[in-house]
Structure formats: C-alpha cells, structure tokens
Amino acid sequence: MKGNTIMAKIKAEYIWIDGNQPTSKLRSKTKIIEGPVTELAQIPDWGFDGSSTLQAEGNDSDRAMLPVAFVPDPIRGGDNILVMTEVRYPDGTVHESNKRAHLAAVAKDYAASEAWFGIEQEYTFFRGRSPLGWPDGGYPAPQGPFYCGVGADEVFGRDIVEKHMDACLHAGLGISGINAEVMPGQWEFQIGPLGPLEVADQLWIARWLLYRTAEDFGVNATIHPKPVKGDWNGAGAHTNFSTIQMREDGGYAVIEKACKKLAEKHQEHIAVYGADNAQRLTGLHETCSIHEFRYGVADRGASIRIPLPTVKQGKGYLEDRRPAANMDPYEVCAILLETVCS
C-alpha cells in the first residue's frame, strides 16, 4: 500500500533465450510485480543462474534479463503479462548468446529500407517417441492427404493448434494464419508482416506459447528441421522479406537484384539458418539442395521463391525458403538486412 492506494500484484513471466548450442532453447520464470503494467519502463530488470543455462560458469553465474517487450499473458489472463528479455552481463554489456542486440543495431542502420518480414513457422507434435497421430511403432499412409486436411484420419492436434492460435491473438501477436502441413502431425503458423525486431520478438513469444500450450495436452512440439528421417517433409521457417523499394512500382527489378546478392552470400546465410538444415535441404520435398542456390517464380524447389502475384504486379516480396524451423529469427532478419540492403 502506498498512501491510500492499494497496489495490485500481477504475475510477470520473464522469457529468455539460453546458451544451448547449436540450437538455443527458451527458458522462463515468474516474478510478482506491481501492476497493471502499461509501459515497458514499469517492468524491473531481473536475473537468473547462468550456470544452469549454459550462459555462465558456476563461480560467476549471475546473468541479467533486460525486458525488451511485453504482451498480455493469455494463459493466466487478467493483468498478468509475458515479458521478452535480452540476456546481459551484470554490468549491462551484451552476452554472447544475445543475438537480439545485433539485430537492433542492424535494424537501426537500415531503418530507411522499411523492411517487412513474415515468418512461416513449421513444427511437429510428438507424443512420446512418435509424431502425433502416427501408429505406435509404425507409419501412417504416404504423404498427400494431410496438407490442409480435414477429418480425424488426416489431421492430428487441431485442438492444440486452435488453442495456440487463440493465445497468440489474445496476446496481441501479429499471427496471420495456421495450416496443417504435408507430414501428419506437422503444422505451421505465420507471424507478420512486421518490422525486424517486432517479428523476431513475436516469433519467440509465439514459440513459447506453443510449447506451453502443448504442455497442457501432454504433447511436445519440436522445431527440428527433420524430425522424422526418410520420405517425409522436413520443417522450415520460410521467411518472406521486402523493402519499401520492392513494394513500390518497379520493385521487381529490386527483388531480382536482391536475389543476386543473396546468391553471393549463400554460405554465410546457411551458416545461421539453423542446425541440421542439411538433413532438410536435400533437393527433395520442396527444397533446393543446401549446396546450390537458385531463385524462381512460384518454384517451391528453389532457394528463393518469387510469388506469382509479385511478378504480375511488378512489385512485392520474396520468400527465402532456406531457413530451418529451428532458426533464430534475430540472426535471420539481421543477415537478410545486411545482405540485401547494403
């Protein structure tokens, strides 16, 4: 109580990205703070044991969380919030695992490009050791009827997907759609179009909500790019990208120029497009080989797909089909800006 005013208490779930390699994981914990929260400055910095998250040694384990964004908590409801944070050293310097700080600098450098990103996050549900809906110790029917399918014999996990979509909407995230994917038990949601920091922050929050929602159903959601070996589609995070010049009249020429720049930096992009991506980018299952770069119109077997409406209108966007489902959006957005806008 302050004076005659009773301060409300709310639950703030602090979310951060750990130091696990080659693919970082999400961590979170709850802090009780004064609320309701209406601006970022009201949310206090916090800390955690970095020696338990591969971000510190035990003899110097304190690491700091700097709040960078917050949204309503759709799971707890009320005035409770989810807080996205950056990892820092106690003195405020950027931790090596913090990829957001670099994107913030790059986004500032190329702000004049007014870049938009839309990320298509694919993932696969597992119950135990098998994808959701697969027979125990066996395989379902071949791929074909499951993509955007309807019916209990073709779609598995829709109740989880619907709850996750509602959670993203309640949180105010820029989710733009969902669909069942080619492999049974595999789904996709899309975030964007948004600016670079917004789309990356929101994708990480949407991933957290996905894991947390699936947890209530006793199901695991994985973003491994090849969760099932063999003649099954992998999981990607196709990244749609445009600048203001691409979206204006004459933008198609700018898109073609961007594709040529991306060709020159193919290996640099692959290096930050997700671990185990070679298992997915084989030249099969709607992918281009990881060892090759090519772009084409309406070609889902290309590294870069230029949508047909973009060609017809002479302006629009490109789709980078190379990022794996487990990519870090901070790194992907940063390198796209650096390559295309430089």
Domain CATH code at residue 257: 3.30.590.10
Total length of the chain: 342
Q: Is residue 280 part of a domain?
A: yes
pLDDT digits (tens, 9 = 90+) for 240-295: 999 999 999 999 999 999 999 999 999 999 999 999 999 999 999 999 999 999 99
179 & 300 share domain: yes
Residue 102 lies in a domain: no
Q: In this structure, are 127 and 254 located in the same domain?
A: yes
In percent, the amount of the chain with pLDDT more than 90 equals: 90
Q: Does residue 79 sit in the same domain as residue 142?
A: no
Does the global pTM surpass 0.85?
Answer: yes
In this structure, the answer to whether residues 128 and 85 fall within a common structural domain is no
Same domain, yes or no: 124 and 271 = yes
Cis peptide bond upstream of 90, omega within 30? no
Burial bucket for residue 34 (CB in 10 Å: 0-12, 13-18, 19+):
middle
Q: 2 lies in a domain?
A: no
Which has more pLDDT, 205 or 154? 205
User: Tell me, what's the pLDDT at 106?
Assistant: 98
Q: Are residues 318 and 207 in the same domain?
A: yes
Q: What are phi and psi of 291, to 5 degrees?
A: -90, 0
pLDDT tens-digit map of 200-252:
999 999 999 999 999 999 999 999 999 999 889 999 999 999 999 999 999 99
In a domain, 174, yes or no: yes
Q: Measured at the alpha carbon of residue 229, what is the angle toward residues 226 and 232, in degrees to the nearest 5?
A: 80
Interstrand relation of 304-306 and 295-297 (parallel, antiparallel or unpaired): parallel
221-249 burial code (b ≥16 CB/10 A, e <16): bbbbbbbbeeebbbbbbbbbbbbebbbee
Q: Rounded mean pLDDT of the chain?
A: 95
Residue 1, pLDDT score: 46
Asked whether residue 220 falls in the same domain as residue 192, the answer is yes
**Are residues 118 and 75 located together in one domain of the fold?**
no
Out of 67, 97, 127, a domain closes at 97
| Both tokens assigned to 179 | 């669909």
Give the range of the structural domain holding residue 130, as residue numbers without chain letter.
107-341
End-to-end, the C-alpha distance of the chain in Å comes to 54
How many domains does one find in the chain?
2
Query: Does 72 share its domain with 143?
Result: no
Q: Is residue 43 part of a domain?
A: yes
